Amino acid sequence: MNKIIDPHLHFFELTQGHYQWLKQGNPPFWPDKHKLRHHFHEQSLTLKQDAVLAGFVHIEAGFDNTKPWREIAWLESSCNLPFKTVAGIDLTLKEDDFKESISQLLLYPSVVGCRHILDEQAYELLSHKNVQHNLAYLAKNQLSFDLQMPLADKHSVDVLLDLLNHLPTLRLIINHGGWPPLNDASIDDSTPSAWQQWQTNVVALSQFEHCVIKCSAWEMLDRNYDKQWQQEVITQCLKAFGSQRVMLASNFPLVLLTQNYHTLWEQYLNLDATLNLTSEQITALTYANAAYWYKFNL
């Protein structure tokens, strides 16, 4: 029996949370976004008989961006499996307001980290003094930061690398493989392609021992993504970070825009054949690494 800890998923309770991003008139403007506008709970997760869900990490889903602890309270009152939570946080808050938010979140035992989605604003946000001070405060409180931004963005990654040099104890968990590019076409021969830039920055970030990477959200880049591209992304992450600092995740329920939850996990569990990995490596990627980096006591 394969034990799995899914280190990146989201549940929705539409009657209690705000979920502004799920509303029709708000971005992202995906033509299939309506498929996500449903309740998704722990009971929504199903696996085949050769696998069992031993736990999960819930990543903030926009339940209440001004009072992120409300989402945590709901989860802790409704979930039964072992789980940890990564709470939403506004890294631009002034020092006192940020500390107050963290003190509220620390009242909940499942909270192990925070996330503020950076994406296209990564350079501006990482250069912000409040953001830099608040990331240091996360590290001081032994909370990890789930980083969502494109690692092919050289200028933003340069700022991030400088920041990490000043915050050697910050546990940084890269979300969604750092948005690996789908296309390897260069503008000209002297310009590194987006794929090459992504590879270079993955290697650079891997030099920090408290930095790890999660591979997931393939469907957000391409609903019909190429499995070979997916496997190449995982291979490059393993080359850079090693099998102890890479995690495979579902991004549920967004994975449902492409395939069933159990189908993705079947693919992950069969990577020993396609990528020539050992059973110990598969266990690390699908269970043990998530247990360690997200502080499960199993």
* Residue 186: band (very low, low, confident or very high) from pLDDT cuts 50, 70, 90: very low
CA distance 248 to 282: 9
- Look up residue 126 and give its two tokens: 């990482």
CA distance 71 to 7: 17
Contacts (Cβ under 8 Å, ≥6 apart) of 124:
none
* Residue 170: band (very low, low, confident or very high) from pLDDT cuts 50, 70, 90: very high
Contacts (Cβ under 8 Å, ≥6 apart) of 25:
none
* Residue at 33: amino acid letter: K
Q: How far is CA 95 from CA 20, 63, 143, 181, in A?
A: 26, 23, 16, 36
CA distance 73 to 68: 9
**Residue 12 exposed, middle or buried by CB count within 10 Å (0-12, 13-18, 19+):** buried
Q: Quick check: 272 and 281 in contact, CB under 8 A?
A: yes
Q: Is the pLDDT of residue 24 over 60?
A: yes
Residue range 245-286, pLDDT digits in tens = 999 999 999 999 999 999 999 999 999 889 999 999 999 999
Helix (H) or strand (E) holding 55: strand 51-59
- Look up residue 282 and give its two tokens: 């598969």
Q: Is the pLDDT of residue 187 over 60?
A: no
Residue range 139-152, pLDDT digits in tens = 999 999 999 999 99
Q: Is the pLDDT of residue 154 over 50?
A: yes
Residue range 38-52, pLDDT digits in tens = 999 999 999 998 999
Q: How many helices (H) and strands (E) does the chain have?
A: 12, 8
Burial 97-109 (b: 16+ CB within 10 A, else e): ebeebbebbeeee
Task: Give how far the C-alpha of residue 171 lies from the chain's centroid of Cα atoms, to the nearest Å.
Answer: 13
From 257, 283, 252, 288, select the one nearest 268 (Cα to Cα): 283
pTM assigned to the model:
0.96
Q: Is the pLDDT of residue 188 over 70?
A: no
* Residue 9: band (very low, low, confident or very high) from pLDDT cuts 50, 70, 90: very high
Q: Quick check: 216 and 251 in contact, CB under 8 A?
A: yes
Q: Tell me the average pLDDT across 112-130.
A: 98
Q: Tell me which of 274 and 125 has the higher pLDDT.
A: 125
Angle at 272 between CA 269 and CA 273, to 5 degrees: 110
* Residue 184: band (very low, low, confident or very high) from pLDDT cuts 50, 70, 90: low
Helix (H, G, I), strand (E, B) or coil at 197: helix
**Residue 228 exposed, middle or buried by CB count within 10 Å (0-12, 13-18, 19+):** exposed
| Predicted local distance difference test score (pLDDT) of residue 185 | 45
| Predicted local distance difference test score (pLDDT) of residue 156 | 98
Residue range 200-245, pLDDT digits in tens = 999 999 999 999 999 999 999 999 999 999 999 999 999 999 999 9
| Predicted local distance difference test score (pLDDT) of residue 49 | 87
| Predicted local distance difference test score (pLDDT) of residue 172 | 98
- Look up residue 45 and give its two tokens: 């997760």
Q: Tell me the average pLDDT across 60-65.
A: 98
Q: Is the pLDDT of residue 189 over 60?
A: no
| Predicted local distance difference test score (pLDDT) of residue 221 | 96
Query: Average model confidence (pLDDT) for the chain?
Result: 96
**Residue 94 exposed, middle or buried by CB count within 10 Å (0-12, 13-18, 19+):** exposed
CA distance 173 to 39: 27
